[in-house]
Structure 1
């Protein structure tokens, strides 16, 4: 059976494809930016697959929290960090509102295999946001609510929802392009992050055994 690796954009999909071992039964596909596009695009691929896929991985670049550009992060959980409600007492998560959960755990077996294949990768929470954090105040509030977070991206939770709906195991891998914080395009290292994604890609083949 095939492993499905979904990215937001084509540049990420190409970076993964460049690093895959020859003959690896891995399909890499860009599904769009943001959690809604990621969920819809992944669900469409799964619905048309006829049971072809054995697992789903959300992969791509993202902002790092305490990590330098080029670092690799494996999600222990994918968290919809801005899914909830504002209130006079502060932000209320989906869990606090009682409308479901903003926490999507990753499959323990997939995570164990990825950790073994990528011993230098950091492991921790990866946040999914619809609006990328770009201010000092926003960063402080994000870290107050999610002190164990290592990265921020825009698709993981959406992909996780699609995988869960299809009954498939899910994992998330991010490579760091910039620090989370005040928006500073001069600090972005997208080339380094894409190169790290290519370097990490052989680990996906270990999920096929």
Structure 2
């Protein structure tokens, strides 16, 4: 049986780099190994943690996650091998917009649920999500969120716990932010990849979690108010304090 692994999927390389810095701090592994995957993807392995920059948006995230999970399953003996396969958990990670006041700038976010917030149709009565239309699911329940939030808060990392929305179009107005929180009262953040990671993980029977750090407030786009450096530092701190033994054991 191969070493159980945690698969962390980010959108872009700077997010992956912050994750790897935190993993290195936590686990002490040096000299990460790069592993080529089909489709030109490059996975970075650091001890029991694999980090993959998948690209922006739910489609790219789903495709890359499915590629990594399939490669791991084949390496572990294929779909007929006794579970668990090579990965015990898939994590969508990166920076995000936070819904004020629940998730202020610079805080961490642990998702109790991942929701595809704009997958559906406009109707005369308002937005109807894909599940209401009979076209599948729009929600995934995560694992370990409360445990991770407790660990991070105990380490001095302010952490919001709630629903993270996956959107294909980032919110840019107060009106849309209000509409999203009206439909999803438990939402603490929005990002663009979590639901794609969750869909791919579910197809492989792998549990999922989403961890984010807040770089900006959801609403009118004010680039001058964004705190990218602080968000990357928080993301690094998140992965420096995770309970890896519980997540990968």
Structure 2 Cα separation of the partners of residues 149 and 111 of structure 1: 14
Residue 94 (structure 2) pairs with residue 60 (structure 1): yes
Match of 2:124 in 1: 88
Structure 2 Cα separation of the partners of residues 164 and 185 of structure 1: 35
Structure 1 Cα separation of the partners of residues 214 and 243 of structure 2: 18
Question: Unmatched 5+ residue regions in structure 1?
Answer: none
CA contact (8 A) 2:145 2:161 kept: no
Structure 1 ranges of 4+ moved more than 4 A: none
Task: Tell me which moved more, 141-150 or 198-207.
Answer: 198-207
> What's the CA shift for 1:47?
0.8
- The equivalent position to 1:114 in structure 2, one of 132, 148, 172, is 148
Match of 2:65 in 1: 42
TM-score normalised according to structure 2 size:
0.80
- The equivalent position to 1:170 in structure 2, one of 193, 208, 212, is 208
- Aligned residue pairs: how many? 207
Match of 1:6 in 2: 9
TM-score normalised according to structure 1 size:
0.95
CA contact (8 A) 1:26 1:205 kept: no
Q: CA RMSD in A?
A: 1.2
Match of 2:138 in 1: 102
SS at match of 2:168: coil
Task: Tell me which moved more, 136-145 or 77-86.
Answer: 136-145
Instruction: Assess, with a 3 A threshold, how the Cα gap between structure 1 residues 106 and 155 changes in structure 2: closer, same or farther.
Output: same
Match of 1:184 in 2: 222
Match of 1:205 in 2: 244
Instruction: Assess, with a 3 A threshold, how the Cα gap between structure 1 residues 101 and 139 changes in structure 2: closer, same or farther.
Output: same
CA contact (8 A) 1:176 1:193 kept: yes
Question: Unmatched 5+ residue regions in structure 2?
Answer: 30-46, 74-84
> What's the CA shift for 1:115?
2.6
Structure 1 Cα separation of the partners of residues 204 and 130 of structure 2: 22
